[in-house]
Amino acid sequence: MATETQTLNPVETDLRDLATSVVSRAMKSGATAAEAVVREGSEFSTVVRMGEVETLKESGSRAIGLRTFLGQRAASTYSSDFSKDGIDRLISGALELARVTSEDIFSGIPEPDQLGSLQGDLKLYYDDVYSLPPDERIDYARRAERAALEADPRMKNSDGGSFDAATGHKVLANSHGFVGEFRRSYCSVSAAPIAQDENGNMQRDYWFALARTMSKLESAESVGREAARRTLRRLGSRKIASTQVPIVLDPMVAGSILDNIFEALGNQHRREIIYALGLQPHSISSLAAMRDLSLPAIHKHIKILENADLIINKKSGRIHFLTLNRQAIQGIQEWLIQYQAYWGNNEETLENYAHYLNEEKK
């Protein structure tokens, strides 16, 4: 069933001027420090199934976020209303929330000497992601699905082929005089075929390609054929008896595991928890007291570290005791040593990459 969303009118406001204006007004209203982020973007997405358009979406979006500080009290507000009244509410709301927020000795914006910029073209944005007319974008998705279905007689059905394109513009300004911005773009194509063997057993897999520019996007046909290959290799799979064997992870699986680890280590509190557990086991309440965190906050950090398999949580009676998963930590260390020549300064690069992952999640 086809769906369609309304396309917003292009944002005519200069985003740099808006961001600096909001910061200036927040400071004049009593904030001791402030930072604003303004975003705008557009996206196109279509999914076809068995050659027919199933979903079709083209939309635009815009938003502004403001974080204000009153000493060591901080609060944030967000809005998509760029009108004068909307900006007034954004600023007053952030200040009102900051007044009733608990103090945080670690809160604040970067000092001026910690701010910088990257010069030159970062190759993140290309106009050509929207160079294809809508009919050809839909056809791109059809071609990927068709290539997958025609790759082998055992390809019997499909969960669809897709094509997506998007652009975005982001500006950040703060009360230390920093104003930075970047643009980004991407386009992607995917296919998810279903194969069936002679016994009626079915398997599904998928493949995709993603690029900043259409000139570097893989052809729809190559993506479809790879999706078919990955699906066909699943046919005839069987369970094996429990045993100890070496494990070779698919690159996509290995990448997701590393992402979880780097995300877990991308927070100062979680790195301090890892350090403390490296010295000795701790209960959750003792870690909360050491880090001066509330129990809900420490439980959130513990859950993320558990999901990354970096710590072990064992219950004794009503008390949870946490220990470091030294085998996992050793694996990370061995991986870093293996790629030391590529990473250079391991610790700095690891921390930078972790912060990058956290920004991508936002």
Whether 57 and 159 share a structural domain: yes
333 in a domain, yes or no?
Answer: yes
334 in a domain, yes or no?
Answer: yes
Q: Structure pTM?
A: 0.69
5 in a domain, yes or no?
Answer: no
Whether 356 shows a pLDDT value over 70: the answer reads no
Average pLDDT score over residue span 259-285: 84
What is the CATH number for 206? 3.30.2290.10
Question: Cα(151)–Cα(84) distance, rounded to whole angstroms?
Answer: 57
Average pLDDT score over residue span 307-312: 87
Phi/psi at 59 (5° precision): -150, 165
163 in a domain, yes or no?
Answer: yes
60 in a domain, yes or no?
Answer: yes
Whether 46 and 83 share a structural domain: yes
Last residue of a domain, one of 181, 204, 232: 232
Whether 192 and 272 share a structural domain: no
Whether 75 and 139 share a structural domain: yes
* Secondary structure, 3-state, the chain: CCCCCCCCCCCCCCHHHHHHHHHHHHHHCCCCEEEEEEEEEEEEEEEEECCEEEEEEEEEEEEEEEEEEECCEEEEEEECCCCHHHHHHHHHHHHHHHHCCCCCCCCCCCCHHHCCCCCCCCCCCCHHHHCCCHHHHHHHHHHHHHHHHCCCCCEEEEEEEEEEEEEEEEEEEECCCCEEEEEEEEEEEEEEEEEECCCCCEEECCEEEEECCHHHCCCHHHHHHHHHHHHHCCCCCCCCCCCCCCCCCCHHHHHHHHHHHHHHHCCHHHHHHHHHHHHCCEEHHHHHHHHCCCHHHHHHHHHHHHHCCCEEEEEECCEEEEEECHHHHHHHHHHHHHCHHHHCCHHHHHHHHHHHHHHHHC
Q: What is the pLDDT of residue 161?
A: 96
Q: Nearest CA to 24 among 172, 174, 171?
A: 174
Per the model's pLDDT, the better-predicted residue between 63 and 9 turns out to be 63
Q: What is the pLDDT of residue 13?
A: 53
164 in a domain, yes or no?
Answer: yes
As for how many domains the chain has, the answer is: 2
Q: What is the pLDDT of residue 351?
A: 52
Neighbours of 227 (CB within 10 A): 29
271 in a domain, yes or no?
Answer: yes
- 272: domain range? 251-361
What mean pLDDT value characterizes the chain?
A: 85
- How confident is the model over 209-267, as pLDDT tens digits? 999 999 999 999 999 999 999 999 999 888 888 998 888 877 777 777 777 787 888 88
10 in a domain, yes or no?
Answer: no
- How confident is the model over 111-128, as pLDDT tens digits? 887 787 778 888 899 989
